[in-house]
Amino acid sequence: MGNIIRMPRLAFVPIILRELLGKRTLPREPEPDLVMQDEEQVKAYTLAGRIDGVMSAAYLFHSAQASSVICGAHRVIDLGCGPATQLAQIASLNPESEFVGIDLSPTMLESARDHVAASGLQNISFAQGDITNLSQIDDHSADAVISMMTLHHLPTRDHLAACFREISRVLKPGGAVYLTDFGRLKSLKSVIQFAYMNTANQPHIFTLDFERSLRAAFLYEEFVETAGRYLPGSVRPYSTFIVPLLVILRTPPRAMPRDVASRLNQLRKALPQAYRRDLEDLRLFFRQGGLSADPFSAS
């Protein structure tokens, strides 16, 4: 995309205006099911969110950003790995790193193990665990900690604080951090518009989960304040421009190997046109939100 500034999609305009000018009326609604255990539900969720589906652009964006942060890390902990769709893509881009996926659901971990085995990846292992109590991980034993779209599952802000304390405990001095999640919007109408924007291209269960996730999201300000208290001082917050639909907390990027940057650009070019535009939107909204480093420009 270079330095070209693209206008946001017309569908975003009323949401941006409402969120910019309106008052906050949407309270946080924690998700009713903290652990996805039902086998059929896990299967439907997993199939809906695989790497070649409607989440392709989001997966690739976060894989690129996370890879730029964890370059050179030997041991990387992924908190709330779910079916390992995102984790597998990051691990394939960073074959020299060893990844440990943590999830509370044994059913989800079974799906994750199947996916990784089918992908032929040898640098991922899994463990069942609570991301607010990583007792199975030693102090200062991880070179990096990542987490993708998991933090909104936590019941309360106290649990968010506990998770951040655990990240600081297991992380080596100078270790890398890349955390991303939804930020809570001001109004329910904005949530509904975002959640149901792509209903024609995704299963209903995926749309419903998206809506519930947006309702359960923490405020951007809550992420910033909690991170400032408990995460390393090198962690910086970012969000999408004007409307904090997505939030990133991360340490500074490192020099990315040229072969990784080249592969990222190959994956970008291989995206279907509609998903490639989704990726360009993410790059635009985060760049205008202050996230200047762009791994796709590294090659």
What does the domain layout of the chain look like in residue ranges? 10-297
Residues 88-98 have a mean pLDDT of 97
**pLDDT digit string (tens) for 27-40?**
999 987 655 555 55
Instruction: For 126-161, give one letter per residue: b (16+ CB within 10 A) or e.
Output: beebbbbebeebeeeebbbbbbbbbbbbbeeeebbb
Instruction: Return d(Cα 5, Cα 280) in angstroms, integer.
Output: 10
**What is the CATH number that goes with domain 10-297?**
3.40.50.150
Residue 246 confidence (pLDDT) above 90: yes
CA atoms within 13 A on the CB side of 52: 1
Structure-token pair, residue 199: 């209903």
What was the pLDDT predicted at 112? 95
Report which residue type is found at 46.
T
pLDDT higher for 299 or 69?
69
Higher pLDDT, 164 or 47: 164
Cα–Cα distance between 40 and 95 in angstroms, integer?
Answer: 32
Determine the pLDDT at residue 202.
67
Q: In the predicted model, what is the mean pLDDT of residues 109-114?
A: 95
